[in-house]
Amino acid sequence: MGEGDVLIHLVDFIEQLSGVSAARAGTEFLIPALRARNEALQALASHPPVGRAWVVAPSPKGWQRQFWADVMGAQVIVLDPGKTAAVLAARAAGISERFVHQWYSEADSTAGPGAEYVPPLAPAGPRPSAEKRGYGRTHRVLRDEQLLKEPICRICFDQRGERVAATVLDHIRPFKKLDGSIDYKLWGDPNNHRSLCLPCHQSRGAQRNRGEAAGGTAGDGRPLDPSHPWNRKKP
C-alpha cells in the first residue's frame, strides 16, 4: 500500500464493533460488520481516496471474484499464501483451521476471469530430512514400541468396535510448533502416543485442530475416507 491508500477489511469492522479480536468475537457481529463495510464501500464511490482502495474479500469461487470485477469495477488480485502458510496464520490468530480447509475445498478456480493470480512463494531450500522433521530412526523405535503395546487402531476400535491392525504412531497433540521447530517433550511423551491404521492417521492429519470428529468421521461415526477399512467392508 502507498500513501493515501485505503484498506477495507471485514475483520477490522468486526474488531471495531466487538472490541476484541475477530477470532474471539461472536457471530452476532458479522451482519453489523457487513453493513459497516458496505457503507464504507458506498462512501468510497462518492468520495474516492487520494490513493487506491484495497478491499480484502476472501472469495474462494470464481463467480464471487467476478462480482467484484464486474459490479464493483475492481481489479481483482488473488494473493494465495499457500495452504500451509494459511493454516499457520490461522493458528497464530487463534482462528479455527476449519475455515482455511473450507476455503481451499470450495475454490473452483485459481483466479477466475478478470483476476490476476499471485502464486505462493516457493519454499526456501530443499525439504528438511526425515530426522529433522521428527521422523527419523528414534521415531521408528518409538513407533515399534507403541505398536507392540497397542497393536489395534484406537479410532477404529473406540468408535466402531473394529479390530483393525495399526501401522502408525500418531501424536495426539501436534509436536510441531508454529515456527516449524519440534516440541520434543510432546514428541517423545508416551502419553501423547496412540496407534492408528494409515487411513485413520491420514484423516486425523487432515482434520487436526478443525473442531471436527477425530479421524474425519461423519456424525454416525463412519469414517469419511472412502479408503478406510470400514468403508471397504462388504454390506
Q: Would you state the cell numbers that stand for residue 151, as one nine-digit string?
A: 497393536
What's the confidence (pLDDT) of residue 116?
66
Q: Are 201 and 181 in contact (CB under 8 A)?
A: no
In this predicted structure, what is the pLDDT of residue 106?
79
Q: Mean pLDDT for each consecutive 10-residue tract of the chain (235 residues)? A: 77 84 77 87 77 80 78 75 77 74 74 60 61 73 90 89 89 77 85 87 53 43 52 50
Q: Which phi and psi angles does 66 have, rounded to 5°? A: -65, -30
> What pLDDT is recorded for position 109?
57
- Work out the burial of residue 65: count CB atoms within 10 Å of its CB; fewer than 13 is exposed, 13-18 middle, 19 or more buried: buried
Tell me what pLDDT residue 234 has: 47
Model pLDDT, residue 206: 41
| Domain range list for the chain | 1-56, 60-123, 137-232
pLDDT at 4: 75
Amino acid found at 216: G
State the pLDDT at residue 73. Answer: 73
**Residues found in the chain:** 235
pLDDT at 138: 81
pLDDT of residue 118: 63
